[in-house]
Amino acid sequence: MKSKTFILVLLVNFVMAQSSLKACGYWEFEWEYRPMTFQAQLPWMQSMNPFVYTTASLFYNMNPDPMGKDRTRNISEWQKATSKDINLDDIYAIQYETDPDTFINSFENSGLKEYQNNSLIKYLTHDKKHKDILDYLVFAKKVEYTEYDFANLNFEEWQDEINKTPNNSLILKHELLAEAKERLKTAKLLFLKERYAFQVVRLSWQVGEYKEASEVFDTYFKAINPNSLMSVWAGLFKAMSLDRLDRKADANLFYIQVFENSDEKKLRSVQLYNYNIPTPPTFSDKEKSIEIVLKSIQNPGRALDSIQSIHRLDKNSKYLTFMVMREINKLEDWLISSVYLKSEKNPFSNAYQYSWDNDDEETSQIKKKNLETDIQYLQRLKAFVIVLRNGTQQQEEKDYYAIALAHLSLLEENREDAKKYLATISTNANPSILLQKSIENIWLSINTDDITTDNFKRNYVSQIKKLKTQLLTTPYKFKNENDQSYENYRIFYTLDLALANEYKKRGDIISYCLLKNISNKDRNPDGSFWYTSEPASDYYGVMRQMDFNASVSDMDALIALLQKTNKTEFEEYICDQPFNPIDAYRDLKGTIAFRNRDLQTAYGAFASMDQNFWATTYYFKDYLNEDPFIPKNLYSQESRDFTYKFNKTDFLKTLLDLEKTAKGNDAKKSADAYLKLGHAFFNTTYWGNSWMMVSYSWSGSDKYYSNTQLLDSWRRAYMTASIAQEYYEKALEKSQNREQKAYATLMLSRTHWHNIVLNGSEKDKKLAAKYSNKFYNNYLNTQFAKQNECLGYEAFIN
Amino acid sequence: MKYLVYILIITLVVSCSSPEKRTLDEQNSFCYWKTTFTFDSLDNNVWKQTTANHMYIRYFDVGWDNTSKQAKPISTVANKDSLPCKHITPAIFFSNNVFEQSTNQQLDTLVTRIKSRIEQTNEQFAIQDFANKYSEILIDCDWSKGTKDKFFYFIEKLKEAIPNKEITTTLRLWQYKNPTMAGIPPVKRVLLMCYNLQAANEYDIENSIITLNEIKKYVNEVSYPLKTDIALPLFSWGVIFRNKEFKGVIRNATCENYSNNKQYTSIEENRFRLNEEMIIGDFFARPGDEIRVEALSPKELQELTKYLLSEIKTDKYSRITFFAWDTNNIPTDEIKNIYTSSAR
């Protein structure tokens, strides 16, 4: 027995990644499929990566130094302190890629014999003069051994991995702190003094000796020195210690300085900053401006006022470019998300019983007002960026602001301005800006060129391919990341989506559908779940767009395209996606025709297919397995026969023949034919046994799509069985005997009753009552009624 | 000799039917799901008013660590205050990923670690004497068709490792409705979690947490072969939509937050439209955005409980528990009534 509820999961295309945070049922969702194309960044801006605008969470990511700048500084200091002949990669390998446990074991057991091919180790071990630096390296590895793996801060440790537990690390840390203090006293090289001092400050903080941490910092560093990485790193622990000592204002000053001078510690500074204390009057203008930066990079709303404050306080603030980028990304989200990401929900959902009509006058006014507000904000931002551009002397910043202005111009559909600003960008501009320029040019082309011409199509493909090559190989590959930046794929998906929407406006539905699929594929670059989250629905997933949007002639165009051997480059591009066998599209064509009551076309489409198709593909044999000419609701569940060999071609042929007979002169045969047509058109509705003639899915909750007046005609007929009712009424009209009348009357009663279930329609209540009364008052003594009455009731109940 | 045989037979019969470990004064329950166990005087007062006598306490979660390629504990509960009742059940949540990734060998190790960690956690609560306040352990995991074998294997091993405690598991509604596909866990009793029936990100639904209509689809005329406790929702949230597109969730939102507030217009009983721009958490909300508040009124909670008790097989030891303890959300009178009316 088949389950009553057959659900093909046809989720909306904006697949949400869910993470279950706690055990019993709190879900939180990540929403980060907004369209976005602006991602130009000046090189230094990589360090601001955690603060890139996102709607998914407070921070874009928790990787604070994707280019490893702090590490680069550290290993450079090591090279400077040792020898310029030492390979920087070798220093990096020891510092950041060598397990501390392994290193210490090697040191203790074999004098680091395993590392003798490493130029740093060779240098440190071959001459006793370098022992003090070697000693520090070993010491640092011992400290590292006691550290948490902060990349997995979420996880704790099991008791049997006890050496990693915090309590045991604490004992070791005390020991190491004592050792670090001793070594600090005797260290001679400034390089070593700074490093031991840093270790003392950090270890003191870690064991809770905050006053000590602060005092050691003051003694050995005095202040944060931008040229001394150790003073910056130690400065963070000084700040954290001051926090614990309740000297919040002092702590904030250090957080600001650390933020300004370290890439790796920026995120931590932002996280730890005390936002609820007033800005100390002792802060310089620059420090005040950075404080505003810290606050503004966490603001998901309009931050232009704050950015202007930053500018007033520090006209040369480098953060201005980054803040402009954030505001542009916000405007992209506010202005184009809802346009580009029009819901791909099942069109049936328009009729959902609890649906609130968001297109009422008030809502339209609100949307209009929001758009006006956003455009006004964009114009304010644009005016400010012009000020910034005019005020900077750095060509790099001028170019950056120029590309920002071009993008803002395109957002407000001012194509002339966009062209103007793009033309001002120097050919020697930063590669990121030149890349962004390519993106702008593509977007401009989509909006200004005739997209139906071969010339446009050729250029588009060429530009997109070039862009893909550039984006996937250049500067966005972060040092510590193995995966390509997701943002790069977001650019492709946005551009393809923009073009798809333009094709839809021009009535080229197939290009629209195929580009939508391409765009969805871009959105999930690993290839999984790009059309549905249910693998079993792959068959439907690749055709969903066509099912929602295509007409019969569109399907003809698609079939021709798929069968074309010498495709153009553009056609190859939009066909670069998975397809079903060609018969699937013929079947869809036939289905579309059937929905539109074009039986001849439907017949032709089905007849052109492999007639075994429905026995072997998708779920057709599971859900087209009953006689479509025996109405489902007339028989009880137990008496239904699921062994029927359903063939769509034969079915359509029979319908066509029945139509002919129905229009013939033999009234009795006509009535019988109309009855059978009624049965067929009832069974191919939501309520019938052959709904898969019309729809690719069925769910018990579909009956909540009850505002049927909001549906287009075939969907309305599918839910209300209106076509079946037409035929039953004709059957009743033509009926020549009481048997025929009984049958037609009962079926009319039943079909109207279904609509009562659907939406409590008053009209259907009256009609159901009318036909029901007629049946029970007049036809109970018919053969039909005697054969079917009890079963009819059971079926009715079921 | 005859009598000896009789005694032997009786002994055998008695020992073969394992007695219920649960007592009859731990059926009125709450779930405590915070990471620090703190129960102040307000909590205590509310607790007494509800007449609750049992608490599920989330001891820790277990997730899969991709770096070390093993399952690891997360957010073990920390101790702060005393316990209000004499019956608790330690609850441990496992992400499904743990069973997707772990080998059987790793699961064997995991069993040992879980047992150990429960004991460690009990030590933290030595003053409250947790160790002597429970007869069962709840394992919470939304296992899938693909992980059921490994999960059930884990449960069997856990039972062997902790024979003096009864192991129970949570059960999601889809598992309840589809035992053939989901499998039936090798336990005597399950805790059926009657909430989060639909995806909150769908615009066209009434209440993703639970509605009577939705729960009927899962529970109506289903006969589940294990004894069942029932978990009901006592939380609320607001789901934000823009142009019918999901944007985010506001925890603990209630209609009171938005009614009679000029910043919002009520468009339906549980739906509100924003009239102004504002920042809500990390989200920039715009005029026209909608908030769908999802919660159960006390009356709905009672109707739901009544329906569930009429459909689900329970016994006198079965519990009603509420997820989750938060004095802001607890209608004490209704909870007390539910406990009273559900007593069997």
C-alpha closest to that of A229 among A271, A261, A272? A261
Q: Residue B88: pLDDT above 50?
A: yes
A488 or B98: which leads in pLDDT:
B98
Q: Which pLDDT tens digit goes with each residue over B137-162?
A: 999 999 998 999 999 999 999 999 99
C-alpha closest to that of A516 among A11, A13, A33? A13
**Cβ-based contacts of A16 with chain B (< 8 Å):** 201, 246
A790 touches chain B (CB under 8 A): no
Q: Do B72 and A31 touch (CB under 8 A)?
A: no
Lowest mean pLDDT among A3-12, B171-180, B217-226: A3-12
What is the phi/psi pair of residue B245, to 5°?
-100, 135
Q: Do B245 and A57 touch (CB under 8 A)?
A: no
pLDDT in the model for residue A519:
86
> Which distant-in-sequence residues (6+ apart) come within 8 Å of B172 by Cβ?
B142, B193
CB–CB contacts below 8 A, A to B: 135
Lowest mean pLDDT among A736-745, B75-84, B102-111: B75-84
Q: Do A354 and B217 touch (CB under 8 A)?
A: no
B34 touches chain A (CB under 8 A): no
pLDDT in the model for residue A149:
46
> Which distant-in-sequence residues (6+ apart) come within 8 Å of A554 by Cβ?
A509, A510, A513, A546
- Reading the block at residue A376, the tokens are 């006004």
The structure tokens 């599971």 sit at: A622
pLDDT in the model for residue A151:
41
Cα(A309)–Cα(A311) distance, rounded to whole angstroms?
5
> Which distant-in-sequence residues (6+ apart) come within 8 Å of A28 by Cβ?
A18, A19, A21, B249
B322 touches chain A (CB under 8 A): no
Q: Which pLDDT tens digit goes with each residue over A605-618?
A: 999 999 999 999 99
What is the phi/psi pair of residue A47, to 5°?
-70, -15
Cα(B111)–Cα(A316) distance, rounded to whole angstroms?
60
Q: Where are the alpha helices (DSSP H) in A341-429?
A: 361-391, 395-411, 415-423
A370 touches chain B (CB under 8 A): yes
Cα(A499)–Cα(A516) distance, rounded to whole angstroms?
9
pLDDT in the model for residue A790:
56
Q: Residue B181: pLDDT above 90?
A: no
**Cβ-based contacts of A29 with chain B (< 8 Å):** 200-201, 246, 248-249
- Reading the block at residue A686, the tokens are 């939501």
- Reading the block at residue B342, the tokens are 């559900």
Nearest to A160 among B113, B286, B290 (CB): B113
- Give the containing element (helix H, strand E) for A192: helix A190-206
Task: Give the distance from residue B207's alpha carbon to the nearest chain A alpha carbon, in angstroms.
Answer: 11
3-state SS assignment for residue B36: strand
Percent residues over pLDDT 90 in chain B = 60
B268 touches chain A (CB under 8 A): yes
Best interface-test mutation with B: which of A7, A24, A346, A373 has the largest number of B CBs within 10 A?
Answer: A24
Q: Do B246 and A338 touch (CB under 8 A)?
A: no
Cα(B53)–Cα(B89) distance, rounded to whole angstroms?
11
3-state SS assignment for residue B54: strand
- Reading the block at residue A443, the tokens are 């977007």
Question: Where residue B277 falls among pLDDT bands split at 50, 70, 90?
Answer: very high
* Average of per-residue pLDDT values in chain B: 89
Distance of CA A787 to the CA centre of its chain: 57
Cα dist. A158→B47, B60, B95, B118 in Å?
33, 12, 17, 11
B93 touches chain A (CB under 8 A): yes
Q: Do A55 and B247 touch (CB under 8 A)?
A: yes
Task: Evaluate whether A719 touches A708 at the Cβ level (below 8 Å).
Answer: yes
A343 touches chain B (CB under 8 A): yes
Task: Evaluate whether A421 touches A447 at the Cβ level (below 8 Å).
Answer: no
- Give the chain A residue nearest B288 (alpha carbons): A366
- CA torsion A214-A220-A223-A229 (nearest 10°) is -100
C-alpha closest to that of A141 among A184, A86, A102? A102
Cα(A757)–Cα(A764) distance, rounded to whole angstroms?
10
Distance of CA B316 to the CA centre of its chain: 20
pLDDT in the model for residue A757:
80
- Reading the block at residue A389, the tokens are 């551009």
Cα(B122)–Cα(A576) distance, rounded to whole angstroms?
58
**Cβ-based contacts of A22 with chain B (< 8 Å):** 33, 58, 61, 93
Cα(A776)–Cα(A423) distance, rounded to whole angstroms?
82
A222 touches chain B (CB under 8 A): no
Q: Do B283 and A700 touch (CB under 8 A)?
A: no
The structure tokens 């049997």 sit at: A160
> Which distant-in-sequence residues (6+ apart) come within 8 Å of A763 by Cβ?
none
C-alpha closest to that of B342 among B262, B229, B240? B229
Stretches where chain A sits below pLDDT 70 are 1-33, 148-154, 161-169, 340-346, 350, 352-359, 473-487, 523-537, 633, 635-638, 701, 789-798
The structure tokens 């938005």 sit at: B258
Q: Which pLDDT tens digit goes with each residue over A410-449?
A: 999 999 999 999 999 999 999 889 989 999 999 999 989 9
Nearest to A159 among B116, B170, B246 (CB): B116
B292 touches chain A (CB under 8 A): no
Q: Residue B335: pLDDT above 70?
A: yes
- Reading the block at residue A585, the tokens are 């599209």
pLDDT in the model for residue B8:
55
Best interface-test mutation with B: which of A11, A13, A158, A339 has the largest number of B CBs within 10 A?
Answer: A158
C-alpha closest to that of B251 among B289, B302, B178, B200? B200
∠ CA A422-A412-B288, nearest 5°, is: 150
Q: Do A154 and B63 touch (CB under 8 A)?
A: yes
What is the reported pTM?
Answer: 0.79
Question: Where residue B109 falls among pLDDT bands split at 50, 70, 90?
Answer: very high
Chain A stretch 8-67, residues whose beta carbon is closer than 8 A to a beta carbon of chain B: 12, 14, 16, 20, 22-29, 31, 55, 57-58
Chain B stretch 144-163, residues whose beta carbon is closer than 8 A to a beta carbon of chain A: none
A794 or B201: which leads in pLDDT:
B201
A508-536: b or e for each residue (b if 16 or more CB lie within 10 Å)? Answer: bbbbbbbbbbbbbbbbbbeeebbbbbeee
3-state SS assignment for residue A696: coil
Nearest to A154 among B74, B116, B278 (CB): B74
